Amino acid sequence: RERRAGRWWGPAMDLEATFQQFCRTREPAALGAVFDATADDLFGLALHLTRDHAMAEDALQATFLVAIERAHRWQPDRPLRPWLLGILHREVKVARRRARRAPDPARVAAKPSEPPERVVLAAEVRDAVRAALGELPEPYRGVVDLHLVQALPPAAIAARLQRSSGSVRTQLW
């Protein structure tokens, strides 16, 4: 048994060999051993950098997710701990950036929903207007439809239907 950083460990583990075994076999036990051997130190650094327990836990988890995804990039002739520390540092920076982003209250504010009875009433009115429009004779139907349904002013209706503004106003009246 040897003492490292104030903790007692069992027989000295070769982190690099264990992680290399994980890279070859994708065996969860090998990754678990690496996690057990390094998590306390990585979490301590994450906590120091973030000053937030939850953010530090998230950074530690993200570090190992990245390590799993990019295990093929690790070079077995290089020490594992500095590689993991570099990943952790990048993940903390990403988390800080995310935390600094303040959402625009105007964009995320929930729009108040209308009471259900008002929604039903509006649908009934729309249906009644459409039914009444269907009963109008043709010279009036298009003009009234554009005015009531699409809310166009008489000048725009006249331009769209290629009629004079005076006749459109008369038909609306």
Q: How far is CA 125 from CA 85, 96, 129, 144, 149, in A?
A: 65, 52, 6, 15, 11
Position 157 scores a pLDDT of: 85
3-state secondary structure of 104: coil
User: CB-based contacts of 53: which residues, under 8 Å, 6+ apart?
Assistant: 47
Chain position carrying tokens 């998230």: 58
Inter-residue contact 149 to 160 (CB < 8 Å): no
DSSP assignment letter at 71? G
**Calpha distance 124→126 (Å, rounded):** 5
Position 5 scores a pLDDT of: 47
Low-confidence ranges of the chain (pLDDT < 50): 1-11
pTM equals 0.54
List pLDDT tens digits, range 90-135: 999 999 888 888 777 777 777 778 888 988 998 898 888 888 888 8
Position 32 scores a pLDDT of: 94
DSSP lists the bridge partners of residue 4 as 7
